[in-house]
Amino acid sequence: MDIGTTPVGIVDFELATSHFVFDLAHLAAQQGIDVNKYHVGLRQERFSMPALDEDAVTVGAAAASRLLARTGTEQIRTLIFATESSVDQSKSAGTFLHTLLQLPQHIRVFETKQACYAGTAALQLALALVARNPRERVLVIMSDIARYERNTAGEPTQGAGAAALIVGANPNILEISPISGVWTGNVHDFWRPNDRSTPLVNGALSLETYLRSFTACWNDYREQGGAEASDIDYFVHHQPFTKMAVKAHERFVRTHKLENGSEMIEPSLRYTPIIGNSYTASMYVGLASLLHSSNALAGKRVGLFSYGSGATAEFFTAQIVPGYEKFLHAADFQQQLHSRVPLTFEEYVALHDAHERTGLTDYENPQVTCAPFRFAGVREGVRQYEARTNEEA
């Protein structure tokens, strides 16, 4: 039986990040440690941090609104919102976006969850829906605020970011192969119980499981009929911190005796060092980094490794479509990165503390963000979101 006869994949995409940025040099100075632990050991320099009137909904909406301004909403009959920074236990974050983005009434909206893997779960679902009916398009939004407790090992690996993708038939940017290698294990490497705003983490176990699951996914991918290692031109890994992707790739390169190992991964590593972890969006931020790195990638095959603690992982491949470069908007995203407002150490600590709102019922947020949407606060238990007017934006 033939699988995947209609080419399906990414028609267009956009990224967004948050209002503030924090430099890890400030953290290292306060801790009295060598900043190279972060710059070299983790390969992280800075991380994005949301203003009090930003959350996963507003950052995701910002990415999606820029995308829909180009593509329109025609043919979109599904919105899948992937996040592990969920704002409600029942109501999908996507339903807030239904209003903010003025999406059509006849659309299904839901949220996916499996730590950082939830973005790839959403993408794979979207591909399946499009393969079933190539006239439909799916809007996939991956958006997260990676917030760890202060004075823990995870603190330097915080961050914030979103990716919004239009998934459809005959894509302009990336054609995604139906062959995947998958793996799941019931592991407690990183999890966030319902009563906590920050995760519990066993860092060493998360590194080990990430590496172990990459090998397992690769073996399964090959058993399913996937390409040989030497037929893959570039690799993009989930990037909880940049060095994690490098570690996994270096091991793979050694095992498969590949030449030009670093050239295969370095183009995907330009954004995470200055954004930090963006959980569900992280691998897609890496993919954008690769696509933004050159106009000469048409026809190249990319290996994509997605990992979500807890733990589920998937390896799959995609081919870059000729003419893809005409659909990229790298300068817009780079401008967003440059426009972030830097935080001093004291401001960072105050903002980190202020984001701890577990137990609060109704509150109003100060107006800070310059993004297209803001989280105004909670009134009678209902989260209030606002589109900023043209004069404010």
Interacting residues toward ligand COA by CB under 6 A: 34, 36-37, 40-42, 153-154, 156-157, 190, 201, 203, 206-207, 210, 240-241, 244, 309
Name the H helices within 101-137.
Answer: 118-132
Residue among 190 and 373 whose Cβ is closer to ligand COA: 190
Cβ burial, residue 361 (10 Å; 0-12/13-18/19+): exposed
Contact of 56 with 63, CB cutoff 8 Å: no
CB-nearest residue to ligand COA: 41
Among residues 140, 134, 48, 40, which one has the least CA distance to residue 97?
A: 140
Contact of 220 with 183, CB cutoff 8 Å: yes
- Name the catalytic one among 237, 238, 352, 355: 238
Minimum Å distance from CB 41 to ligand COA?
A: 2
- Is residue 228 part of the annotated active site? The answer reads no
Cα 29 to Cα 25, 32, 82, 135, distances in angstroms:
6, 5, 35, 55
Cα atoms in the Cβ-side hemisphere of radius 13 Å centred on 233: 13
User: Is the previous residue joined to 311 through a cis bond, with omega within 30 degrees of 0?
Assistant: yes
Instruction: Report the C-alpha gap between 97 and 206 in whole angstroms.
Output: 32
Minimum Å distance from CB 321 to ligand COA?
A: 30
What's the token pair of residue 61?
Answer: 């909406």
Contact of 213 with 351, CB cutoff 8 Å: no
- Name the catalytic one among 14, 54, 84, 314: 84
- Is residue 238 part of the annotated active site? The answer reads yes
Instruction: Report the C-alpha gap between 53 and 59 in whole angstroms.
Output: 10
- Is residue 26 part of the annotated active site? The answer reads no
Residue among 154 and 168 whose Cβ is closer to ligand COA: 154
- Name the catalytic one among 116, 175, 292, 355: 116
What's the token pair of residue 194?
Answer: 């319902």
Cα 361 to Cα 50, 191, 245, 380, distances in angstroms:
20, 24, 39, 8
Full DSSP string of 252-304: HHHHHT-SSHHHHHGGGGSSHHHHB--GGGHHHHHHHHHHHT-S--TT-EEEE
Q: Where are the beta strands (DSSP E) in 129-212?
A: 137-146, 159-169, 174-184, 190-191, 200-201
Minimum Å distance from CB 217 to ligand COA?
A: 14
Cα atoms in the Cβ-side hemisphere of radius 13 Å centred on 322: 0
Query: Residues 164, 269, 172, 126: is their CA dihedral positive or negative?
Result: negative
Catalytic residues: 84, 116, 238
